[in-house]
Amino acid sequence: MSMKKKILVVSSANMDFVMDAPYIPAAGETVICRGSYKYVPGGKGANSAVAFARLGADCAFCTRLGADGNGNALYDVYNNEGIDVSHIRRDPEAPTGLAAIMVGDDGNNRIMVYPGANMRIDNEQILEAVAEKPDALYMQLEISREAVVFAANAAHEAGIPVFIDAGPADPEFPFDRLPELEVFSPNESETEILTGIFPESPEDCTNAAKKLAKLVAARYYVIKLGSRGCYVTDLDREFFSPSFKTRAVDTTAAGDSFTAALTLEYLRSGDMEKAARYANAVGSIVVGRPGAMPSIPTADEVSAFFK
């Protein structure tokens, strides 16, 4: 019997169209990019699914791709990563999700997403995937609100813990329709959008977490602080876990793989401090490499990093 944790990711898949800019253009400005443009597999859900698989989970990815060339390419990528693709549907009526990404010199990005087929993940495929009794359900907010609410409740009723990464920020999301989550994890900008507090100081983090708790019930609130690491609280105790120093090349997918790594290590060890440290290591590795999915490390690479 495999002792691998079985994770169900119900979330988004995109093809990323990436250009490296010397800097991010302001409104009305045109900037000439360097090098060539690239098509790179991405999407918050897919990045996390790949992170789960590479870090040693048994991962099923429930998403929707268009019946188009990008969809074919992405399907093959997931299959080659050893991800269970049996709950992926191809949609003849909507294109595969596409993200236009600008990466600046400092490694920071700006992203615009055309969600396409991601918005059409349906209840039937979700129920089918939940019926396989995963150890956890993992989601982000890059698919329809209905799908997130439906999947969270279906999993909760089946006794499956639910982990939600709050990206991208959706202040209109019906958080009151979610069951109690195991982990709710926004990044800095999502925290600011959801609470009105930018998590700068320790006090800001405490106050933001209190506000998050009024919005959504969760056992743990994990605020991702970018290059500073993360803040974790269960509203009883709280701690910071610093990130590891790296030169930022491209932050794309750092958050997606951070939360996946945190989820997996927490399920494996039951120790949230250990999980936060592990997630910071994974995030730091991702930030030091270009691209979304290509930058995600394997479990062996993470072990080597700790040495």
The answer to whether residue 42 forms part of the interface with ligand RIB (CB under 6 A) is yes
Contact 40, 48 (CB under 8 A): no
Options 150, 256, 264, 272; binder of ligand RIB; rule CB under 6 A: 256
Give the interface segment with ligand RIB, choosing from 54-62, 158-166, 222-230, 248-256 (CB under 6 A): 248-256
Give me the sheet containing 97-103, strands edge to edge.
34-42, 14-20, 97-103, 109-114
The answer to whether residue 190 forms part of the interface with ligand RIB (CB under 6 A) is no
The upper half-sphere exposure of residue 10, i.e. CA atoms within 13 Å in the direction of its Cβ, equals 30
The answer to whether residue 252 forms part of the interface with ligand RIB (CB under 6 A) is yes
Tokens standing for residue 228? 């500073």
Our CB check for ligand RIB shows the closer of 15 and 160 to be 15
Tokens standing for residue 265? 């290590």
Our CB check for ligand RIB shows the closer of 42 and 134 to be 42
Tokens standing for residue 106? 């400092």
Our CB check for ligand RIB shows the closer of 110 and 177 to be 110
Contact 52, 260 (CB under 8 A): yes
Our CB check for ligand RIB shows the closer of 17 and 240 to be 17
Give the interface segment with ligand RIB, choosing from 43-51, 79-87, 222-230, 280-288 (CB under 6 A): 43-51
Q: Is 186 helix (H, G, I), strand (E, B) or coil?
A: coil
Dist. CA 162–CA 218, nearest whole Å = 9
Our CB check for ligand RIB shows the closer of 197 and 292 to be 292
Task: Determine which one of 122, 170, 256, 300 is catalytic.
Answer: 256
Options 53, 55, 57, 99; binder of ligand RIB; rule CB under 6 A: 99
Here's the x/- map for ligand RIB, 128-147, by CB under 6 A: it reads as --------------x-----
Write out the E strands in 52-149: 58-62, 64-66, 89-91, 97-103, 109-114, 136-139
Residue 185: what are its φ and ψ, rounded to 5°?
Answer: -135, 100
Instruction: Give the number of other Cβ atoms within 10 Å of residue 69's Cβ.
Output: 11
The answer to whether residue 103 forms part of the interface with ligand RIB (CB under 6 A) is no
Dist. CA 138–CA 256, nearest whole Å = 11
Q: 16 catalytic, yes or no?
A: no
The answer to whether residue 14 forms part of the interface with ligand RIB (CB under 6 A) is yes
Dist. CA 64–CA 62, nearest whole Å = 7
Please state at what angle helix 272-287 crosses helix 254-269, rounded to 10 degrees. Answer: 150
The answer to whether residue 292 forms part of the interface with ligand RIB (CB under 6 A) is yes
Dist. CA 38–CA 19, nearest whole Å = 7
Instruction: Report, in Å, the least distance between residue 159 CB and ligand RIB.
Output: 30
Our CB check for ligand RIB shows the closer of 65 and 154 to be 65
The answer to whether residue 44 forms part of the interface with ligand RIB (CB under 6 A) is yes
Number of residues that bind ligand RIB (CB under 6 A): 16
The residues carrying an active-site annotation are 256
Q: Enumerate binding residues for ligand RIB (CB under 6 A).
A: 12, 14, 16, 42-44, 47, 99, 111, 113, 142, 252-253, 255-256, 292
